């Protein structure tokens, strides 16, 4: 990209972001550099032994859980010992009543209801206090950077308890002071999803480990984009397909001690995107638009997309006759850089009157290997435990018809293990939107 265009785009994003009020303490967090290893993931849960009678008697008799859908409730019904469903919104754990406060109208509505409840946490009776609440990746950092989510260490949950989890899932919900504010029972690592037929034609193979050699870094990615263009294909449907991958690998974040910054890696995305647009190797359509999704079909002539397992399982028209997915025509490989897209974290609410039960639920549902093995085996979720998922790398039950029979666990595992979160902040969504909006002016 010409320097003047990049400079103008950076100036535009600065102007847009600086108009936002950013409070003190909302700086980006440091990434966790530690990669989980086979040695540190077999430590058994030290505190996952259930509650003593003394703990039970000293706690509240009502547990309030806030969520935006039924997923966690379903997991509790299936896997938490002693949980009994009463009706659609109520259950019991021993003599404790579990109230499910599910706000399914939308993300905004859920956050509004949760915020109201948390703001009133000190004023309401114990039976009305929030005990547990769930957050997803888009807004998790908003709660991590407040005192409304408890440091899990205050519950007695240790690094040994969470040793088996993928480091990025812990880093993403760790605040600037090093306090981890939640845990997740599954992970959403992303992969590069490529068209097998196009790969075989242009690269001479559709085998994932061989295709990866042509996509191992951004230089080889661009070289492959040139080859795709020569053969009559576009590399990606849109420049925005690669944005998330770059954003999650920007080491500096959007803020430093001097204020707002644009990381060098994000500038590299802008330069690469402009090059690919100029060369006719990608488009500029909005993600999720009809133009963008044409590549879900052979006539769209798009080589690859980026996404986690939920993306190719549910959003690439696998139920439509003639789609690439319906014909088993996709496969996955790691691509140039690791990234994630989505995820759900369980947070303990500050002020809960059920700390021991909350601790036990978090340990059982996010750290217990037997529970996580059950979830993975039944639902095919990519659960948040390195060694549990290693056990499924050769399991035929994880082979996907959409991926032509490929078992993608190895590729997902490689990405999840190597992920870092150096660009996480409560304002990340806003920063990302401003930066992309600034670039759209130059792509239009």
The torsion angle over the Cα atoms of residues 347, 351, 355 and 359, rounded to 10 degrees, is: 10
- DSSP structure class, residue 162: T
Say whether pLDDT at 133 is over 70. yes
Question: Do residues 171 and 36 lie in contact, with contact meaning Cβ atoms separated by under 8 Å?
Answer: no
pLDDT in tens, 304-346: 999 999 999 999 999 999 999 999 999 999 999 999 999 999 9
pLDDT in tens, 77-99: 999 999 999 999 999 999 999 99
Q: Average pLDDT for residues 235-260, to the nearest whole number?
A: 83
Using alpha carbons only, give the angle 390, 400, 302 rounded to the nearest 5 degrees: 115
Q: Which two tokens stand for residue 213?
A: 């050699």
End-to-end CA distance of the chain: 15
Rounded Cα distance between 346 and 356, Å, is: 15
pLDDT value at position 205? 98
Q: Average pLDDT for residues 236-265, to the nearest whole number?
A: 82
Say whether pLDDT at 442 is over 80. no
Rounded Cα distance between 130 and 117, Å, is: 7
Question: Do residues 330 and 193 lie in contact, with contact meaning Cβ atoms separated by under 8 Å?
Answer: yes
pLDDT in tens, 17-43: 333 333 333 344 333 333 444 334 444
pLDDT in tens, 335-393: 999 999 999 999 999 999 999 999 999 999 999 999 999 999 999 999 999 999 999 99
Question: Do residues 382 and 187 lie in contact, with contact meaning Cβ atoms separated by under 8 Å?
Answer: yes
pLDDT in tens, 261-285: 777 888 899 999 999 999 999 999 9
Taking all residues of the chain, what is their mean pLDDT, rounded to a whole number?
Answer: 87
pLDDT value at position 440? 72
pLDDT value at position 254? 62
pLDDT in tens, 135-181: 999 999 999 999 999 999 999 999 999 999 999 999 999 998 999 99
Q: Which residues contact 341 (CB under 8 A, 6 or more apart)?
A: 137, 188, 190, 244, 307, 308, 311
Burial of 49 from C-beta contacts in 10 A (0-12 / 13-18 / 19+): exposed
Rounded Cα distance between 89 and 102, Å, is: 8
Say whether pLDDT at 242 is over 90. yes
Q: For a pLDDT cut of 70, what percent of the chain falls above it?
A: 82
Q: How, if at all, do strands 344-348 and 132-136 pair?
A: antiparallel
Give the SS3 label for residue 166.
Answer: coil
> Phi-psi bin for 332: left (phi > 0), alpha (psi -120 to 50), beta?
beta
Q: Using 50, 70 and 90 to split pLDDT, how confident is the model at 16?
A: very low
pLDDT value at position 256? 66
pLDDT in tens, 4-13: 444 545 554 4
Q: Which residues contact 297 (CB under 8 A, 6 or more apart)?
A: 317, 322, 323, 324
Question: Could you identify the residue written with the tokens 């369980």?
Answer: 346
- DSSP structure class, residue 148: S
Between 224-233, 240-249, 419-428, the lowest mean confidence (pLDDT) is in 419-428
pLDDT value at position 33? 33
Higher-confidence position of 42 and 52 = 52
- DSSP structure class, residue 337: S
Q: Average pLDDT for residues 107-135, to the nearest whole number?
A: 97
């Amino acid at each position: 990209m010409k320097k003047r265009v990049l400079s103008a785009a950076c100036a535009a994003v600065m102007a847009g972001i600086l108009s936002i009020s950013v409070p003190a303490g909302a700086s980006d967090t440091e990434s966790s550099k530690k990669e989980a290893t086979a040695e540190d993931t077999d430590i058994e849960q030290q505190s996952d032994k259930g509650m003593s009678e003394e703990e039970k008697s000293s706690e509240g008799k009502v547990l309030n859980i806030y969520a935006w859908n039924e997923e966690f409730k379903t997991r509790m019904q299936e896997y938490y010992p002693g949980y009994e469903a009463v009706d659609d919104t109520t259950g019991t754990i021993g003599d404790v009543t579990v109230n499910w406060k599910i706000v399914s109208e939308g993300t905004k509505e859920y956050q509004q209801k949760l915020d109201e409840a948390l703001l009133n946490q000190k004023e309401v009776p114990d039976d009305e206090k929030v005990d547990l609440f769930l957050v997803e990746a888009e807004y998790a950092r908003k709660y991590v950077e407040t005192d409304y989510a408890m440091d899990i260490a205050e519950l007695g949950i240790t690094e040994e308890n969470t040793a088996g989890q993928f480091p990025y899932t812990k880093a993403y919900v760790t605040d600037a002071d090093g306090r981890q504010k939640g845990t997740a029972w599954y992970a959403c690592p992303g992969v590069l999803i490529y068209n097998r037929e196009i790969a075989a034609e242009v690269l001479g193979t559709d085998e994932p480990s061989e295709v990866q050699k042509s996509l191992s870094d951004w230089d080889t990615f661009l070289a492959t984009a040139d080859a795709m263009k020569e053969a009559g294909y576009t590399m990606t449907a849109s420049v925005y397909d690669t944005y998330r991958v770059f954003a999650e690998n920007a080491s500096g974040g959007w803020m430093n001690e001097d204020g707002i910054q644009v990381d060098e890696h994000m500038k590299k995305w802008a330069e690469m995107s402009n090059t690919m647009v100029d060369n006719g190797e990608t488009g500029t359509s909005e993600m999720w638009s009809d133009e963008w999704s044409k590549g879900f079909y052979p006539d769209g002539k798009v080589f690859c997309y980026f996404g986690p397992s939920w993306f190719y399982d549910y959003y690439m028209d696998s139920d439509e006759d003639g789609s690439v997915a319906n014909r088993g025509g996709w496969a996955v490989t790691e691509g140039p850089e690791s990234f994630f897209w989505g995820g759900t974290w369980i947070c303990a609410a500050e002020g809960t009157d059920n700390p021991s039960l909350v601790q036990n639920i978090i340990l059982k549902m996010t750290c217990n290997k037997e529970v996580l093995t059950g979830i993975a085996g039944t639902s095919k979720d990519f659960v948040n435990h390195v060694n549990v998922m290693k056990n499924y790398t050769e399991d035929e039950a994880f082979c996907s018809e959409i991926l032509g029979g490929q078992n993608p666990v190895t590729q997902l595992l490689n990405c999840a293990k190597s992920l870092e979160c150096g660009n996480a902040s409560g304002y990340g969504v806003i920063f990302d939107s401003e930066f992309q909006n600034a670039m759209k002016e130059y792509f239009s």
